[in-house]
Amino acid sequence: MTTIDPEEKKETVPFYPDHIRIEFYVVIGILVLVLVAGVLGMLSPVGLEAPADPLNTPLHVKPEWYFLGLYQVLKLVPPTILGINGPMFAVVVILLAVVALILWPFLDTKQDSKKAMRLRWIFCIAAILIMVALTIWGEVS
């Protein structure tokens, strides 16, 4: 347990009921959205495309939207990079990025600073913008 000195204690509220109340309001808000989704579902269901047919490949095959950006990257890489298979190279890079994401706390061990935080802000905004752009590109192409 983290110890809290008495000076800091003044800036706290008890978990129950103060903090639970906030969580409760959030849950109610989500439930309202869930209810709206349910009503929309009754009005116009999610629906289905034609049944799966292994012999009939559709013209445009797209993954779910959250994979669409990465899928677009794989479509855009040239067939060969540095003499090796391009898509394979891209897949390896993406896998390494995932490993880096998992191990990130051990890669960035420096004392945190305002400047580092600003850099992370810029990095995140850039990453979001690039992914959104790639996703939209993948959606319209």
Residues in CB range of 137: below 8 A, 6 or more apart: 72
**Interface with other proteins in residues 44-103 (CB under 8 A):** 45-54, 56-58, 61-67, 71, 74, 85, 87-88, 91-92, 95, 98, 101-103
CA distance 23 to 65: 29
Question: Min. distance of Cβ 33 from other proteins in angstroms?
Answer: 8
Provide the 3-class DSSP secondary structure of residue 81. strand
Please report whether residue 132 would count as binding other proteins according to CB under 8 A.
no
CA distance 70 to 87: 11
Please report whether residue 112 would count as binding other proteins according to CB under 8 A.
yes
Classify residue 48 by its DSSP letter.
-
> Of the candidates 7, 37, 79, 82, which one interacts with other proteins according to CB under 8 A?
37
Please report whether residue 133 would count as binding other proteins according to CB under 8 A.
no
Question: Min. distance of Cβ 54 from other proteins in angstroms?
Answer: 7
Strand-pairing partners, residue 85, are 80
Question: Min. distance of Cβ 57 from other proteins in angstroms?
Answer: 7
Classify residue 77 by its DSSP letter.
S
